[in-house]
Amino acid sequence: QVQLAQSGGGSVQSGGSLRLSCAASGYTYGRACMAWFRQAPGKEREGVAVINRDGSTNYADSVKGRFTISRDNAKNTLSLQMNSLRPEDTAMYYCAEDVGGRGTLVPTLYAYWGQGTQVTVSS
């Protein structure tokens, strides 16, 4: 069973930066893709960024140019660097793993999820 443990998050003012991390343990699959999702109260869970096993990435338009997803395959860790944060970025952020390695931002394709960490951006 894969377990994902998140760290980071917190509260910052608009324009600030935060870095989220996710450590994977348990069985690991070489074809797995990893991603970050977020969900604000009353809203649908939305994809933020995904990184494939080969390092290729895709971002939601709302975060493109501001967020950077990265992974260290040897250490089984995933990171999300968030710069130029805006109040609309406020949400619970989750890391997730798709064992199938499909490389999309569709939440239902991800079988393993982190516990979530709150990001709050104030004006």
Residue 79's Cβ-side half-sphere holds a number of Cα atoms within 13 Å equal to: 11
Residue 55 has pLDDT above 90, yes or no: no
Query: Which residues is 47 bridged to in the sheet?
Result: 37
User: Binning pLDDT at 50, 70 and 90, where does residue 72 land?
Assistant: confident
Residue of 56, 119, 65 whose CA lies nearest to 92:
119
**Once rounded to an integer, what is the mean pLDDT over residues 101-123?**
93
Confidence of residue 30 (pLDDT cuts 50, 70, 90): low
Retrieve residue 56's tokens. Answer: 């290729």
Q: At residue 29, does pLDDT exceed 70?
A: no
